[in-house]
Structures are given as C-alpha cells and as structure tokens.
Structure 1
Amino acid sequence: MSLLVLGEASESEEETIVDRPIVYARAVLGEAAESDEDVYDKNDNKTSTESNQRTINHNEFFHKKLVESNIALWKSLNALIRNVVLSASKQLLSADQLLIKSQVSMQSALSSVKVSQTNVKQLKEKTEDILTANFIPEINIK
C-alpha cells in the first residue's frame, strides 16, 4: 500500500515500503555488532511487522513534509520581514533626505530675510534723512 500526495512525484526508491523493518540502533564500543537474526525473531507475526513499517514510513513522510513546510514558512517569513524592513528603511532615508533639503532651504531663506531686513532698515534711515533734511535752501529777498 502506498500513499499518494497530490502535487508530488511518485514514490522514489527511498520511499518504497520494504519487508524488513529499519533498525535505529547505534553500535556500542565493546559489543559485537547485531545481526538481523539477533534483532528480529523470525517467529514474529509478519503482518504486525508490516503494519509497524508502514506506520514508521508514514510518520517519516509526514515528518519530512513538516520539516519542508517549516523551512518554507521560515524562508517566506524571513523574506517578508526583510522586504518590509528594507522598504521602511528606504522610506525613512528618503524622508530624512527631504527634511535635510528643507532645513537647508529654510536656513537659506532665513539668511535672505535677515539680509533683506538689514537693507530695509538702512533704506528707512536714508528715507528719513532725506525727508527731514532741508534740501531747498532758504532764499532771502531784499
């Protein structure tokens, strides 16, 4: 019995169900390596062994899919966060540059206003001098 998932390729050699169960054991120093005959008794019920193998393969398949889905989710989330942060930093940089340009323009305008104020003050003083001055001399007729 094989499990078919839509959108995936058919089972490869690694995913096929084998009659012999997989042994998850490590060799311990000082002991002899175990053989298949030592681990599995040939008198065991073959159907229970096959159902156990199917369950293990089924669980391994879903564990593999879960890991793949988690990796894909992490990559998508990482890309989303990176795009949001990059976009926000670009917008902040652009706003900062506009504020700097505005500050320079305001400083230039302030300087121009101060120069204009000084010129207006001097013009007012000259105008007052002209208006108060006696520019028509007095003529005495005898």
Structure 2
Amino acid sequence: MSLLVLGEASESEEETIVDRPIVYAKAVAGEAAESDEDVYDKNDNHQSIEANNRTINNNEFFHKKLVESNIALWKNLNNLIRNVVLSASKQLLSADQILMKSQVSMQSALSSVKGIQTNVKQLKDKTEDILTANFIPQINI
C-alpha cells in the first residue's frame, strides 16, 4: 500500500476511480452511433437551413424592393428628362418664331432702304440738273 502525504495528489489508479455509466446498447452494422454532438449538429444544420431560407427570403424581398426602386427611379428620370426636353423645345420654338418675325422685319426694312436709296439718287440727279442748268439769264448792268 502506498503512503499518503497530505497536500499531494495520489498517483495510483486505485484511488482515482471514475464512475462511468454502463451502456446497454448494441452497435448496428452500417449505422453510426448517435451522440449528443450528432443531435446538436442536426439542430445546427436545421437552424442553418432555416437561416439560409430566411436569407434567401430576405434576398428575394430586397431584390423585389430593388426592382421596384429601379422602376420608380426610371419613371422619375424619364419624366424629368421629358419635362426638360419639352420645356427646351418650347423655348426653341418660341426663339425660332421670334427670329422669323425679326427676319421678315429686316427684309421689309431692307426693301424700304433700297426704295429710299433709289429715291435719294433720283433727287440728287434732279438737284444736279437744276443747279447746272442755266435757266436764269445773266443780267448785265
């Protein structure tokens, strides 16, 4: 027998008896024995599958929201561009009409100026004829 010293751990196997439960089960060929870890793994797998399903559902939800947002953005952008283009085209049409009126006015002014120029030339010629003509006789005193 061994001598026990206070404060030290015993080193013999006789003194350290571990109570192990007796298992009355027979292993079946081709089937793995289930342990607590397997049960937890199955629960983890089930939870991970549920989490994946939730993630897929969330992804589908976010995808639908993204598509809806993209459609709304496209409509808003399309309306904005349409409004800007319509406004710009109206302004261009207005400017074009003003320029056409100005062109007609300028053509009218040009024809009036040409008529005035012709009249001034005729007046100049007649004035020269009058000044060069000797219609008053010379008077000698």
What's the TM-score once normalised by structure 2's chain length? 0.61
Aligned mates of 1:131, 1:94 — CA distance in 2:
55
Aligned-residue sequence identity (percent) comes to: 84
For residues 1-142 of structure 1, what are the structure 2 equivalents within 5 Å? 46-138=46-138
What SS does the corresponding residue of 2:100 show, helix, strand or coil?
helix
- Which segments of 5 or more consecutive residues in structure 2 lack a partner in the other structure? 1-41
Secondary structure of the 1:137 match is: coil
CA–CA separation in structure 2 for the residues paired with 1:53 and 1:63: 15
Q: Matches of 1:82 and 1:67 in 2, distance apart?
A: 22
Following superposition, the deviation at residue 130 of structure 1 comes to 1.2
Runs ≥4 in structure 1, deviation > 4 angstroms?
43-46, 138-141
Count of paired positions: 99
Q: CA deviation at 1:99?
A: 1.4
Aligned-pair CA distance for 1:80? 1.7
Go from structure 1 to structure 2 and tell me whether the alpha carbon gap of 1:58 and 1:140 turns closer, same or farther (over 3 Å shift): closer
Query: Which has the higher Rg, Structure 1 or Structure 2?
Result: 2
- Computed over aligned residues only, the root mean square deviation of the Cα atoms, in angstroms, reads 2.4
| d(CA) in 2 for partners of 1:80, 1:127 | 69
The 3 A distance-change label for structure 1 pair 47 and 139 is: closer
Residue by residue over 1:79-100, the C-alpha shift from the partner in whole angstroms, topping out at 9 and shown as x without a partner, is 1211221122122212211211
Offset of residue 62 of structure 1: 0.3
* In 2: Cα distance, 1:100 partner to 1:68 partner: 47
Instruction: Call closer, same or farther: CA 1:59–1:140 in 2, change over 3 Å.
Output: closer
* CA distances 1:18-43 after superposition (whole Å, capped 9, x unpaired): xxxxxxxxxxxxxxxxxxxxxxxxx9
**CA–CA separation in structure 2 for the residues paired with 1:140 and 1:124:** 31
Distance in 2, matches of 1:75 and 1:139, equals 99
**Alpha-carbon offset, residue 115 of structure 1:** 0.2
